[in-house]
Amino acid sequence: MDIIHDIPSKAFVLPLENGLKASVTYTLDTHTGLMRLIRSEVPEQLRGHGIGKELVEKTFEKLTEEGYQAEAVCSYIKRVASHSNKWSSIIGL
């Protein structure tokens, strides 16, 4: 599934099975354009299946496409970002 950037909700949303969804929420500094990734959430019944990592990586891909710079605040997002140099140019830890 493709990730959706829900700008009014300040979230990146990954639709899942049975109408469920996983999301990364953020704040946006309107002066600098820096996005702070503050929370990642996967439905409890789907945790432990790699959905969180997929969610975060798809969020990073969408950020890249849309030209944002971001700072990882959430510890899980920081962990995913730190495991790959691919994201170091757009994700600050």
Residue 3 confidence class, pLDDT cut points 50, 70, 90: very high
Nearest C-alpha neighbor of 38 from the set 28, 27, 22: 27
CA 83 to chain centre: 15
Which residue segments constitute the domains of the chain, with CATH numbers given?
4-92 (3.40.630.30)
pLDDT value of residue 91: 83
pLDDT value of residue 66: 93
Residue 88 confidence class, pLDDT cut points 50, 70, 90: confident
pLDDT value of residue 93: 63
Instruction: Write out pLDDT tens, residues 13-63.
Output: 999 988 999 999 999 998 988 999 999 999 999 999 999 999 999 999 999
